[in-house]
Amino acid sequence: GAKVLACPLNACPVSGAERTSQEIWESFSQCFTPAVKEVVEFAKGIPGFQELSQQDQVMLLKSGTFQVLMVRFCTLFNAKERTVTFLNGQTYPLSTLRVLGMGSLLDAMFEFSEKLGSLGLEPDEMALFMAVVLVSADRSGISDMQAVEQLQEGLIRALRSLISRRRPDDSALFPKLLLRLPDLRTLNNMHSDKLLAFRIDP
Amino acid sequence: YNDPASNLGLEDIIRKALMGNLEERPD
């Protein structure tokens, strides 16, 4: 009856049989809801984002929120040590998580965390990258495509100039950073498959 | 194509946060 909870925004990776799905969901949402709200507040601060229609803002946030959260929390996945830190502050080794059934999505998160971490971004560079991640998310349901494209182009230009100003001799850094965008799309698709299987028992 | 994020009520959280009134408990 115990339940495995793969997302590190949960207190820990296993919940006892005595706890109902509703109880598990409510404690998870105490972390998840503020984390999503933080992404929305972050998006409001992106120059030009609030000029999009309300519906387009919602659509972009719906398709981009998990990708932004994956960047925001990627340091919970320590690729070097092969551990994941859950909300209780404890780290769990890969061996334990494997036994619990965690597989390709976990491996992909480790790989992503390693690649992004190796770029050594400053906080403001990471924030600008997260803005690019959000506006580069899937555009199904977007009504004003041109406005989103212009927003994306402007943010990518800003990211390129910030990075080349900071590290003029590292011309490979910016392309490496943009290569993380398809990684995030893949992670998001894998994560969506898991979400489809997620149910809160009535 | 059903919406995976709907399992978590993501759109509801986003809409409320955009309108700035997430203070009251989600229903």
Question: Which range (A59-73, A176-190, B10-24) has the least confidence?
Answer: B10-24
From chain A, the residues in CB contact with B7 under 8 A are 195-196, 198-200
* pLDDT value at residue B23: 54
* Token duo for residue A13: 């990776």
What is chain B's mean pLDDT, rounded? Answer: 74
Q: Which of B16, B18, B24 to mutate to test the interface with A (most CBs of A within 10 A)?
A: B18
**A84 band by pLDDT with thresholds 50, 70 and 90:** very high
C-alpha angle A127-B19-A60 in degrees, rounded to nearest 5: 50
pLDDT digit string, tens, across residues A130-151: 999 999 999 999 999 999 999 9
Closest CA to A180 of A103, A85, A82, A111: A111
Residues ≥6 apart with Cβ < 8 Å to A3: A14, A15, A17, A19, A21, A24
Residue A76 reports pLDDT greater than 60: yes
* Interface contacts (A, B; CB < 8 Å): 50
* Token duo for residue A133: 């991640």
CA–CA separation, A40 and B20 (whole Å): 10
Considering only alpha carbons, which residue of chain B is nearest residue A190? Answer: B4
From chain A, the residues in CB contact with B13 under 8 A are 33, 36-37, 40
Residue B8 reports pLDDT greater than 90: no
